[in-house]
Structure 1
Amino acid sequence: MDRRSFLRASALGSTAAATGLAAPAYAQGKRTLTLVTTWGRGLAGVHDSAQRCADMITAMSDGQLTIDLKAAGELVGAFEVFDAVTSGQADMYHGADYYFTGQHPGYAFFTATPFGMTAQELVNWYYYDGGMELHDKLGEVFNLKSFLGGNTGAQAGGWFRAEINGPEDFNGLKFRMPGLGGKALGYMGASVQNLPGAEVYQALASGAIDGTEWIGPWADEKAGFQEITKIYYPAGFHEPGAGLSLATNREVYDSLTPAQQKIIEVAAGEAHQNNLAQFLSNNGAALQRLIAGGVTVREFPDDVWDAFGAASQQVYDENMGDDLFKEIYESAQASMRSSSGWLTRSEGVYRAQRDRVLG
């Protein structure tokens, strides 16, 4: 029996045993919960979202829950937060769930997947087409209760030391890209690196990597990548609307009162929307500053986009043997196609016409 089946069987047994028993006992009094993050302290936007979650939970609970935020490296490393929370070493984490595809590839869908959902399509799926329930189903396997808790919007294709003229230019390229998008680049011959955000600048500056994606113009400018190279691709295939997650150890979550549980959910949802607005409101002006400072903006050629697509499908196909991955994939695809069918014909046409009319 695999772990998921075991946990489901245990849950059913617990439910049967609990019939007729008193309501669960909740921990009483003020509590401090430790929140670890995948972000270095001060990383533009992403650390802000984690801090907003922490501050809102503390404020909304009227101090009954105090969230003690530990940035990456202050308690555990950036990529260690998942294990820290599942094991109970920490109570909560804030991060990008696609860092944890090694635990299960289905986690990628709750951040971003190649040729996947935009930010709007992601929330449509999450709140109305079964995404939240699948996030919870996946969390049951790993002792987590998770919610969307941030969003960067569409992420840039990245910074390169040399222009990309064809798919062959990725062969041997040392490039930083996490998640399933990174897997796809690997199939195109790239040497893919998965580095925490706080380590990316130094790796690019030292030549340890030849290029990197991070987030978008505002966060990239704050990180200083324009000091190292001037070649920038604003459009990428890998993260069209990257969600961030706030996850709580399930035993800790279950020990909270229903009101406290709802506070975590609501705080995460508000942080998601606030964070998306934060990124999108800053990116346009930041891109103009980068261009004024000498950055040249490029677009990948069509044959590169075609290669991205073929490699991405290879990544999806290799994971279809996992039933839960397949379930999440099919749910996300169905929702995305439904949402896109309307958005393309309404907002998409409107925006194209607005740009044409207003210039």
Structure 2
Amino acid sequence: MERRSFVRSAGIAGVLAAGAAPAIVQAQANIRWRLASSFPKALDTIYGAADVFSKQVAAMSGGKFQISVHAGGELMPPFGVVDGVQNGTVEMAHTAPYYFFGKDETFALGCAIPFGLNSRQMTAWYYEGNGEKLMREFYAKYNIVNFPGGNTGAQMGGWYRKPIGSMADMKGLKMRIGGFAGKVLERLGGVPQNIPGGEIYQALEKGTIDAAEWVGPYDDQKLGFNKVAPHYAYPGWWEGGPQLDFFINQKAYDGLSAEYKAIVTAAAAYAHVDMQAKYDGRNPAALRSLVSSGTKLFRFPKDVMEAAFKESMAVYSEISAKNPNWKKVYDDYSKFRAEQNLWFRFAEAGFDDFMQQQKL
């Protein structure tokens, strides 16, 4: 969808939400959809984005378009939602696309890759760059139409029973790590484990894994990871700006009227912004609370960061040589990343570096 088309669509939805076009709303049919989430209800930020979306759709349609939201495992396994949408078992899903890199590594580019785009850059690539066009072309192979559905912002680097002091500590580390980043962890000597959010605590508590990453302070505190692994790393180099997505079955989406499609577009954009606002608003107090209760923060050592960067770039080159889907998207993504980093270096990074040294 072109940027101007998006703006026009959002404008229609705004008129509907304001109640200025009741005749249009009345002309639409009553619709009931189901949305399968990959996340547990306990996480009101990441799971909550689907609720925010659903409520916006209902409000803008005058209650005619209802979408029920179902937590991971309620209708299907958390990692089964792509199959569910593709096959039409459910009309929609809300998930992290990189969970499905096993189907095709290109899924990860719709979410986050190690040393990729930050959250603002990801949104810019999607709406202003070629992100929407390229990812829509790819997801069409799975009967899916996607919409951005939130971003956590840069994440923390996970919880560890013992702190990471050097590359030597990465050897044999059994770590729950989301999606694509496991490929890099393996090359660093670690053993990646792909475990749904609702099952991580138990795995850490039992010692099935040595470490786990999820999102950041607000969610991590809710899940209680600090009780079983006291060392908290930063930064999450594998998730500088992970974008969640709403996946919609192609046939279901095509069956919507133009007005309902505009409502879906506007509601997704609203949920996208709302989710990151919640994380940015709630993470500072949660981090302060965690530290005051005994959590020990540590920064990844330079040799770990440099090795991870080197191996990440090698992985991308190898995938580009064998996966044309990946190469087509990554070539554009990486060019956009280089341009963004040049700009952010002078503006955002310069400002942030100064401000973070001030005592406010």
Q: Same fold (TM over 0.5)?
A: yes
Contact 1:117 1:336 in 2 (8 A): yes
Contact 2:36 2:75 in 1 (8 A): yes
Query: Which residue identity does 1:339 align to in structure 2?
Result: Q
Contact 2:178 2:214 in 1 (8 A): no
Contact 2:28 2:64 in 1 (8 A): no
**CA offsets 1:137-184 (integer angstroms, 9 cap, x no match):** 111111000011111111111000111111121211110012221110
Structure 1: 5+ residue runs without aligned partners?
Answer: 1-26
Match of residue 335 from structure 2: 334
Contact 2:54 2:68 in 1 (8 A): yes
Separation in 1 of the partners of 2:190 and 2:303?
A: 16
Query: Which residue identity does 1:125 align to in structure 2?
Result: W
Q: Which moved more, 1:260-269 or 1:121-130?
A: 260-269
Alignment partner of 1:205 is 2:192: no
Match of residue 149 from structure 2: 149
Match of residue 322 from structure 1: 323
Match of residue 238 from structure 1: 238
SS of residue in 2 equivalent to 1:169: helix
Q: Per-residue deviation at 1:103? A: 1.8
Query: Which residue identity does 1:323 align to in structure 2?
Result: P
Alignment partner of 1:177 is 2:177: yes
Separation in 2 of the partners of 1:88 and 1:28?
A: 22
Separation in 1 of the partners of 2:48 and 2:325?
A: 32
SS of residue in 2 equivalent to 1:62: coil
SS of residue in 2 equivalent to 1:116: coil
Query: Which residue identity does 1:220 align to in structure 2?
Result: D
Query: Which residue identity does 1:139 align to in structure 2?
Result: Y
**CA offsets 1:279-327 (integer angstroms, 9 cap, x no match):** 0111111111111001110011111111111221232122112112111
Match of residue 32 from structure 1: 32
Separation in 2 of the partners of 1:355 and 1:262?
A: 40
Match of residue 139 from structure 1: 139
Separation in 2 of the partners of 1:201 and 1:169?
A: 22
Alignment partner of 1:353 is 2:357: no
Separation in 2 of the partners of 1:262 and 1:242?
A: 25
Match of residue 259 from structure 2: 259
Match of residue 279 from structure 1: 279
**CA offsets 1:45-94 (integer angstroms, 9 cap, x no match):** 11111111111112212222110111111110100010011001110000
Match of residue 120 from structure 1: 120
Q: Per-residue deviation at 1:101? A: 0.8
Q: After TM superposition, which residue ranges in structure 1, 4 or more long, deviate above 6 angstroms?
A: none
Match of residue 191 from structure 1: 191
Q: Per-residue deviation at 1:265? A: 1.4
**CA offsets 1:225-250 (integer angstroms, 9 cap, x no match):** 11112100131210001110001000
Contact 2:218 2:287 in 1 (8 A): yes
Contact 1:246 1:268 in 2 (8 A): yes
SS of residue in 2 equivalent to 1:309: helix
Match of residue 79 from structure 1: 79
Query: Which residue identity does 1:45 align to in structure 2?
Result: T
Separation in 1 of the partners of 2:181 and 2:259?
A: 38
**CA offsets 1:111-150 (integer angstroms, 9 cap, x no match):** 1110001001101101111101112111111100001111
Query: Which residue identity does 2:235 align to in structure 1?
Result: A
Q: Per-residue deviation at 1:218? A: 0.9
User: Given the two structures, how large is their TM-score scaled by the length of structure 1?
Assistant: 0.90
SS of residue in 2 equivalent to 1:298: strand
Q: Per-residue deviation at 1:355? A: 3.1
Q: Which moved more, 1:37-46 or 1:73-82?
A: 37-46
Separation in 1 of the partners of 2:157 and 2:296?
A: 13
Query: Which residue identity does 1:332 align to in structure 2?
Result: Y
SS of residue in 2 equivalent to 1:324: helix
Query: Which residue identity does 1:344 align to in structure 2?
Result: R
Contact 1:38 1:94 in 2 (8 A): yes
Separation in 1 of the partners of 2:203 and 2:57?
A: 35
Alignment partner of 1:60 is 2:23: no
Separation in 1 of the partners of 2:356 and 2:37?
A: 39
Q: CA RMSD in A?
A: 1.4
Counterparts of 1:300-315 in structure 2 under 5 Å? Answer: 300-315=300-315
Alignment partner of 1:100 is 2:100: yes
Separation in 1 of the partners of 2:107 and 2:61?
A: 29
**CA offsets 1:85-109 (integer angstroms, 9 cap, x no match):** 1001110000100011122211111
Query: Which residue identity does 2:76 align to in structure 1?
Result: V
Paired-residue identity, %:
34
Task: Give aligned pairs, total.
Answer: 333
